[in-house]
């Protein structure tokens, strides 16, 4: 290869790399992230419905209170006014923190789903696996968004999940599974809402979307 063609080749490669990293606009990234979060919440809702179909009444009594979710300590806006006041990067970090907080619990759920004492076990198992995949994709996507936004600091809240077992007996395992899932359902709704707010904020060029 001649010098000139070598140079040309290197330039092309560089441009390709540049474009691949920065090529996709923020709007498109957020759009994609919103779609993923939407799917995440829909999956969790259907999982909850599946579980509810054959849930023992005693379980409802045993169910822990929602405030016992491990993510309840995170300070989030509870209404629109508060949410619209929060800057984008903070919203994004909230979403990312929540997402991050659920990667371990979902792994636990996934491992427990196959041995659940429930007639819809198979469906639940497959959906849980799908949930896990989606969370990973969304996490990666939000990473890109974060880099794209170019915020200075990465202040992710740590929300540790200390439980490594759902329970000893069948019923408690089922109840805890249900409880965890309900926590996740709510948190996925939060993530979805935040990302859609972010989406509309960034889509100044496309008012018809918002």
Among 3, 4, 5, 79, binds another protein (CB under 8 A): 79
Count other C-beta atoms under 10 Å from residue 30's C-beta: 27
Among 33, 76, 113, 138, binds another protein (CB under 8 A): 76
For residues 131 and 113, the answer to whether their CB atoms sit within 8 Å is no
Distance CA 183, CA 172 (A): 16
Give 31 or 112: the residue with its C-beta nearer to another protein: 31
Query: Which residues 6-65 are close enough to bind another protein by CB under 8 A?
Result: 38, 41-42, 45, 65
In the complex, minimum distance from the CB of residue 26 to another protein, in angstroms, rounded to a whole number: 14
Scanning 70-78, 101-109, 121-129, 159-167 for contacts with another protein by CB under 8 A, the matching segment is 70-78
Q: What would the two tokens of residue 119 be?
A: 């007639």
Q: How far is CA 25 from CA 30, 138, 154, 161, in A?
A: 9, 16, 21, 34
Q: How far is CA 108 from CA 122, 162, 163, in A?
A: 16, 11, 9
Give 45 or 137: the residue with its C-beta nearer to another protein: 45
List interacting residues with another protein (CB under 8 A). Answer: 38, 41-42, 45, 65-67, 72, 76, 78-81, 83-84, 186, 189-190, 192-193, 196-201, 208-210
């Amino acid at each position: 290869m001649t010098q000139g063609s070598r140079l040309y080749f290197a330039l092309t490669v560089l441009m390709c790399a540049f474009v691949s990293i920065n090529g996709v606009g923020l709007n498109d990234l957020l759009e994609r992230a919103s779609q993923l979060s939407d799917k995440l919440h829909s999956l969790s809702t259907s999982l909850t419905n599946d579980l509810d179909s054959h849930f023992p009444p005693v379980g409802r009594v045993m169910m822990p209170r929602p405030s016992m979710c491990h993510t309840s300590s995170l300070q989030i806006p509870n209404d629109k006014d508060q949410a619209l006041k929060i800057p984008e990067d903070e919203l994004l970090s909230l979403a990312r923190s929540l997402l991050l907080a659920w990667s371990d619990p979902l792994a636990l759920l996934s491992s427990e789903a196959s041995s659940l004492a429930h007639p819809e076990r198979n469906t639940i198992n497959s959906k849980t696996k799908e949930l896990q995949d989606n969370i990973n994709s969304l996490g990666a996507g939000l990473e890109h968004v974060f880099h794209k936004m170019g915020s200075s600091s990465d202040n992710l809240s740590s929300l540790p999940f200390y439980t490594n077992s759902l329970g000893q007996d069948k019923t408690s395992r089922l109840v805890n599974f249900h409880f965890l899932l309900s926590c996740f359902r709510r948190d996925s709704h939060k993530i979805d809402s935040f990302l859609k707010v972010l989406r509309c904020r960034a889509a100044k060029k496309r008012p018809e979307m918002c």
